[in-house]
Every structure is written in C-alpha cells, then in structure tokens.
Chains A and B, each alone.
Chain A
Amino acid sequence: TQLLEQSPQFLSIQEGENLTVYCNSSSVFSSLQWYRQEPGEGPVLLVTVVTGGEVKKLKRLTFQFGDARKDSSLHITAAQPGDTGLYLCAGGTGANNLFFGTGTRLTVIP
C-alpha cells in the first residue's frame, strides 16, 4: 500500500498569514495531485505536478514536487477565509486510481 502522510493534520491561522502543507511518502509516484474538499462536496482538483522538482504557481498557491517524486508541498501566501477546507494530496501511478494523503484541515480566521 502506498501511503501518503500529510502534515500538519490541522491548521488554524489568521487571514493574511502564510502557510505550508507537506505531503510525504516512501513510494515514488508518476504524478502528484492536490485537491481541496469543502463540507458536503467532493474533492476539487487544484493542480497536477508530474516532473521531479517541478514548481507550479496558481495565484497565491505554490505547489512543488520533490526531486525524487516522493513528496510535495503546498504553500499559500496571504491566506483568505475562502481558502478554508480539507487539502488532500494524491499520488498517481499511471492507472486511473489515486492514493490519497491523510489530509490537512485548514481554517482561516477572518
């Protein structure tokens, strides 16, 4: 079983602060995806990274895939209340099934 550990598990910050969420595994993945899930909804894809060392930026969100393709990080600058949600990383192995991380529940306080 390919396990993806996320840290921290819970994060509560003030609006305007920066934060980083980590996703670590001992397994190598062909791709790494980040999702955000809000209560009562399914996860929504934020980004896919496929190359070791790759960095992708989406407005205030920066995603990085580790050189060895075993880990990833998500950095949010100037967090806003709308960023509140459950952040999930997911490793892809080439088939259409994903191995999801344990999740990071983020709360941004106005």
Chain B
Amino acid sequence: KAGVTQTPRYLIKTRGQQVTLSCSPISGHRSVSWYQQTPGQGLQFLFEYFSETQRNKGNFPGRFSGRQFSNSRSEMNVSTLELGDSALYLCASSLGTIRLETQYFGPGTRLLVL
C-alpha cells in the first residue's frame, strides 16, 4: 500500500506570494490533517479535513486555508506569504472514523520564504 505523498517536496517563494501544497492520502483514508513544523514552534496543527469538510481547525490566521476533494486528496494554500511561514508542512492521513486511530504522515513539503 502506497504511503502518504506530498508535492512538491521543496519550494522557494518570496514574501507576498501565495503557495499551494498537495497531499495524497493512503488509499481508503478519508481524513487528512495538516501540520506546520518549525524549529522554534515545533509541530503545530493547522486543520483537518474529512469527507471534503473542514472538521477541526488550529490557531492559524486566515491566510492558511485548505480543501479536500472527493478522492480525499487535499490541498493547502497560504496567501500573502511572510518570512515566518518558512517551515516543513506535513500532512497526515487516517481513516477518520474512530478516535485514537493512527495518523500516517507524509515526508512533508519544505517551504522557504525569502
């Protein structure tokens, strides 16, 4: 079974631009969660999508948004990029139907904002 894939793996943008990251979950998984990982703040939850609906949301500004498609693939968008948005963005997939189920993480997209 293929794991969680994220594209692109690396990205360089400049301040003010916007960026879209993509995540393809494990086949059969309907929940996709997004996390931001930085050296200073660690791993922080952005949001979770389940069956094309945002089910949970972390404490990030509205510049961070996402969506999920009918095939469970998910995209995350960051508008008006700031230097502090430089981070490793991780997505994780799970079945999404029961509590405490294992989340499987992708390798991440490393975003550098100049």
List residues of chain A with CB under 8 Å of any chain B CB. 1, 30-31, 40-45, 48, 50, 88, 90, 92, 94-103
B105: A residues at CB distance < 8 A: 41-44
Q: Is the CB of A98 within 8 A of B100?
A: no
Residues of chain B contacted by A45 (CB below 8 angstroms): 102-104
Say yes or no for B62: interface residue by CB 8 A criterion. no
Q: Is B61 an interface residue (CB 8 A)?
A: no
**Once the chains bind, are B33 and A96 in contact (CB under 8 Å)?**
yes
Q: Given A1-B59, A88-B43, A103-B42, are A96 and B107 neighbors across the interface (CB < 8 Å)?
A: no
- In which size bucket is the chain B interface? 20 to 34
Q: In the complex, what residues of B have CB within 8 A of residue A97's CB?
A: 33, 45, 48, 56, 58
CA distance A17 to B35 in the complex (A): 33
Given contacts A100-B35, A101-B42, 6 further A-B contacts (CB under 8 A): A1-B59, A43-B90, A48-B102, A96-B96, A96-B103, A97-B58
Minimum distance in angstroms from B20 CB to a CB of chain A: 19
Among residues of A, the one whose C-beta sits closest to the C-beta of B41 is A102
- Separation in Å of the A43 CB from the closest CB of chain B? 5
In the assembled complex, B51 has its CB within 8 A of some CB on chain A: no
Tell whether B21 is near chain A: CB-to-CB under 8 Å: no
Residue of A nearest to B110 (CB): A40
Contacting pair A50 B48 (CB below 8 A): no
Contact indicator A42/B99 (Cβ below 8 Å): no
Residues of chain A with a CB closer than 8 A to B99's CB: 30, 92, 94, 96
